[in-house]
Chain A
Amino acid sequence: ILNVEQSPQSLHVQEGDSTNFTCSFPSSNFYALHWYRWETAKSPEALFVMTLNGDEKKKGRISATLNTKEGYSYLYIKGSQPEDSATYLCAFPYSGAGSYQLTFGKGTKLSVIP
C-alpha cells in the first residue's frame, strides 16, 4: 500500500499569518510530486509539479520545496488571505505496469480567519 501522508489535517490561521504544511511520500521510485488546491464548490487546481530534489517553486505568496531523498515536501503560504482558504492536496505518481496513477494524500484543510 502506497502511503502519501499530509499534516496537519486541518489548520486555522489569522489573516496575515504565514503557514506551512507537509506532504510525506515514498522516497523510492520518485518521478514527481504534485500539489493541488481545492476550494469549496470548485474543482481541484494544480499549483505545482515538482520533479527535482531541492526544487523550490513559487506562485505568488505560495511556495513549495521538495526533498526526494527523505520523502517530503513543504507548502508555504506567506501572509495568508481569506481567499487562501481551501484544501491543499499533494499527489504522488505511482508506477504500475508501465503507466502511472496519482495517489493523493487526504489533504490539509486551511481556514483563514479575517
Chain B
Amino acid sequence: KAGVTQTPRYLIKTRGQQVTLSCSPISGHRSVSWYQQTPGQGLQFLFEYFSETQRNKGNFPGRFSGRQFSNSRSEMNVSTLELGDSALYLCASSPGTGPRHEQYFGPGTRLTVT
C-alpha cells in the first residue's frame, strides 16, 4: 500500500500571500489530520477531517482552514501568511476516528514565509 503523500514538499511564499497544501491518505483511510511543527512548539494539532466533515480544530486562527474531498484527499489553506507560519506541515491518516487509532504520517510540506 502506498503511504501518505503530501505536495508540495517545499514552498516559499511572501507575507500576505495564501497557500494551499495537499494530502493524499493511505487507501481506505477516511480520517486525515493536519499538524504544524515548529522548533519551539513541537507538533501542534490543526484539524481533523473524517468523511468530508471537520471533526475537531486546534487552537489556530481562522486563517487556517481545510477541507476533505469524497476520495478522502485533504487540503489545508493558510491565508494572509505571516512570518510565524513558517513551519513543517504534516498530515496523517488513520483508518477511523477515535483516540486509539494510530496515525500514519506523510513526509510533510516545509513552508517558508519571507
Q: A residues touching B (Cβ–Cβ < 8 Å)?
A: 31-32, 34, 36, 42-46, 49, 51, 89, 91, 93, 95-97, 99-107
Contacts and interface: CB of A to CB of B under 8 A. Distances in A.
Interface stretch (B11-19, B67-75, B79-87, B101-109): B101-109
Contacts of A101: 33, 45, 48, 56, 58
Contacts of B99: 31-32, 93, 95, 100
B62 interface: no
- 5 closest A-B pairs by beta carbon, nearest first, are A93-B99, A31-B99, A46-B102, A43-B105, A104-B43
A34 B101 CA distance: 9
B4 A99 contact: no
Which of B44, B100, B106 has the most C-beta atoms of chain A within 10 angstroms of its own C-beta? B100
Contacts of A105: 42
Which of A51, A91, A101, A106 has the most C-beta atoms of chain B within 10 angstroms of its own C-beta? A101
Contacts of B43: 44, 89, 91, 104
A110 to B, nearest CB: 16
A42 B100 CA distance: 23
Contacts of B48: 99-101
A65 to B, nearest CB: 18
Interface of B: 3-4, 33, 35, 42-45, 48, 55-56, 58, 90, 92, 97-108
A32 B56 contact: no
B61 to A, nearest CB: 17
9 contacts: A42-B107, A43-B3, A44-B43, A44-B103, A49-B101, A93-B100, A99-B55, A100-B99, A101-B45
B90 A44 contact: yes
Given A99-B48, A99-B97, A100-B98, A46 B56 contact: no
